[in-house]
Amino acid sequence: MAAVMPAPAASRLLLSGNEAVARAVWEAGVKVAAAYPGTPSTEMLEVISTYPDLYAEWSVNEKVSLEVAIGAAYAGSRAFCCMKHVGMNVASDALMTLTLTGVIGGLVIAIADDVGLSSSQNEQDSRYWGRFAHVPVLEPADSQEAYAMTLEAYALSEQFQVPVILRMTTRINHVKSLVQVGERVAHRGAGFKKEPGRFVMVPGNAGKRIPLMFKRDIELRALAETSALNFIEPGADRRLGFIASGPAYMHVKECFPEAPVLKLGFSWPVPFEKCRELAALVDQVVVVEEVEPLVETELKAQGLKVIGKEILPLQGELAPNVLKPAIAKLLGEPVPVSSPVVPLPVFPRPPTMCVACPHLGVYYTLSQVRNLTISGDIGCYTLGAGHPWNALDTCVSMGASMGMALGLDKGRGEADKDKRIVAVIGDSTFLHMGMQGLLDMVYNKGNVTVLLLDNRAVGMTGGQDNPGNGRDIYGEEAPRVDFAKLVAALGVKEERIHTVNPYELPVLFKTIRDEVKVPEVSVIITDQPCVLIKDYHKLKPFEVIDDKCTGCGNCIDVGCPAIHVTRRAKEIKPSGREVDLAFVRIESSVCTGCTLCVQPCAPGAIVHYAPVSPIQLVKKGCPA
């Protein structure tokens, strides 16, 4: 990627929260930044990698990314790591010991919580990592605060020699606003100094560090009480006061502009005295927090009378349409009735895979093979659970398809004794957390067929590079993993490893059908690139000859969104059986010529698209 030219000092830029954090990371003099892609955090590192004077990398998973950042911080350099909320589950092993060793150079960990589940398998509240790991948490409410708090986090990190969590949410990550920015200030790392009693966390050393952690807690709580990031905004309406942070603060100000509000920007440790100060100003205090009652629980434990999740939901964003009715009920006021929004009648568009996606052939084939239990994983291929394939039976977390498939095999009951177990996993997910599962499967003699879908990209988050495609975050050439050799090294027998073109349906079908019958671990690798990356090359598109289409619908079962049903009908067979027919057309402008729909077309009605010239249109009687 080309380097971004730094903006002039004190200029204003329109930035998303992710872009604002990236800008601040660069300005703070960070030397090392690492991450694994995950919506809504992905753009932070993508933008950071465009800035000069620092090193950025896509790591194979979040734990490794945090460990890279820790190493840089131990060396005295400023470091940055970012991930989505579920990524911290993976990285927490390192975090929970890092809190004892502390850091030398500043280390900021940005965690993006997907409040509202726009693209995640669960909804978590990452403020709890601050409580659990005894580290401070800062919560911005807009892009300007995301920028400013990132800079503040580095100062705080180095003052207390502790990592700082920057807790963001989807609404901050992706919404843009004007941000006042500055210039980069170089930061010179002191270099790593050997200190085994601090950096070698054997039990004897760790035990001595725990009292220091508790001492730091007291100091951080005292700082939270006086920090300018926590402030009370007075208001004329003393019936209610609010304690809020992040986007919830913005919603409170929009709904109740006359109410006193304690805004928590430095939200952990909770500033108890500041909360008491607000409580003294009002009749009742409502804690508005997304999504768990962390502050509410802490305040109630301190003896403060506050209201929170008794009236507010435990999930989703606390937007005005949620806040206003809840507060009206609390105050005994009429509940505002909003005019119902009548949606326009549009054709339903459930999530689906892209036109010509190489995963289409895999799921079409799996839907044709009977008696399978299919263990799925996290990625765009998770969409195989939907219509028309219905070819995924489980999906829990990244890499889980492997271990769960083994468990499905070993735990099968009498009713499942004849079922064949298949695990589906993507290339980046396999490198992220799937390799260990395959090793365990081989070691424990599982009877599972693994489909390793190599599309040379982290497809779900925007096609980022990974060790499987031979490019780094800068687009430069890098060593590329040979998946066949890798799975062989993990113990899979060479005769049980097959590399297949997923667009060749007969070969794919035969390979899957044959391998599921073999009572041991086998791996089928599909090897075609994601259609949205530069490695993919389009072919000549197709169209449907209307006179030849019999309405059999076989092409629809492939699931390609370029195929549209134009007419439905019913046919009575000589046997008396009623058959549904679906006549189709292909949107040739988006068709890439992958041939997936051609292969199951019984009447041969799908042929290469032949564009009609204007002269031919005139000859056919088309008006000019």
Sort residue 168 into left (φ over 0), alpha (ψ -120 to 50) or beta: beta
- Secondary structure E strands in 209-350: 230-233, 240-244, 261-264, 266-268, 284-288
Residues of the chain with CATH 3.40.50.970: 12-189+200-226, 358-526
- For residue range 364-415, what is the model confidence (pLDDT) as tens digits? 999 999 999 999 999 999 999 998 999 999 999 999 999 999 999 999 988 8
How does residue 8 score in pLDDT terms, banded at 50, 70 and 90? low
Of the CA atoms within 13 Å of residue 227, those in its CB half-sphere come to: 28
pLDDT of 1 strictly over 50: no
The CA distance from 27 to 250, in Å, is 27
Measured CA to CA, the distance from residue 548 to residue 528 in angstroms comes to 31
Token representation of residue 35: 């991450």
Banded model confidence at residue 615, pLDDT cuts 50, 70, 90 = low
Q: How confident is the model over 75-115, as pLDDT tens digits? A: 999 999 999 999 999 999 999 999 999 999 999 999 999 99
Per-residue pLDDT reduced to its tens digit, 44-63 = 999 999 999 999 999 999 99
CA dihedral for 612, 616, 622, 624, sign (positive or negative): positive
User: For the segment 551-571, what is each residue's pLDDT rounded down to a tens digit?
Assistant: 999 999 999 999 999 999 988
Please indicate if the annotation marks 591 as binding a ligand: yes
Residue-wise pLDDT for 307-343, tens only, equals 999 999 999 999 999 999 999 999 999 887 776 667 7
* pLDDT mean over 541-558: 93
Place of tokens 């195989």: 384
pTM of the model: 0.90
Which residues, at least 6 apart from 300, have a Cβ–Cβ distance to it below 8 Å?
A: 306
Q: Is 395 annotated as a binding residue?
A: no
The average confidence (pLDDT) of the chain is 92
Residues of the chain with CATH 3.30.70: 542-619
CATH of 358-526, one of 3.30.450.20, 1.20.1730.10, 3.40.50.720, 3.40.50.970: 3.40.50.970
pLDDT digits (tens, 9 = 90+) for 525-535: 999 999 999 88
What is the end-to-end Cα distance of the chain in Å, rounded? 47
Tokens of 560: 């390609």
Fold of 542-619: Alpha-Beta Plaits (3.30.70)
SS3 272: helix
**pLDDT class of 237 with cuts at 50, 70, 90:** very high
Residue 576's pLDDT band, with cuts at 50, 70 and 90, is confident
466, amino acid identity: N
Please check whether the domain covering 12-189+200-226 is classified as CATH 3.40.50.970. yes
Share of the chain above pLDDT 90, in %: 83
pLDDT of 462 strictly over 70: yes
Confidence of residue 479 (pLDDT cuts 50, 70, 90): very high
Spelled out in words, what is the top-level CATH class assigned to the domain 233-331? alpha beta
Say what the pLDDT of residue 340 is. 67
**Which structure tokens are listed for 623?**
């008006």
Does the pLDDT value for residue 500 go beyond 90? yes
Residue 616 pLDDT: 57
Cα 42 from Cα 37, distance rounded (Å): 5
Q: Which amino acid is at 365?
A: T
Is residue 275 annotated as involved in ligand binding?
no
pLDDT classification of 3: cutoffs 50, 70, 90: very low
- In this prediction, residue 619 has a pLDDT band, given cuts at 50, 70 and 90, of low
Where are the CATH 3.40.50.920 domain residues in the chain?
233-331
Was 530 annotated as part of a binding site? no
More confident residue, 270 or 613: 270
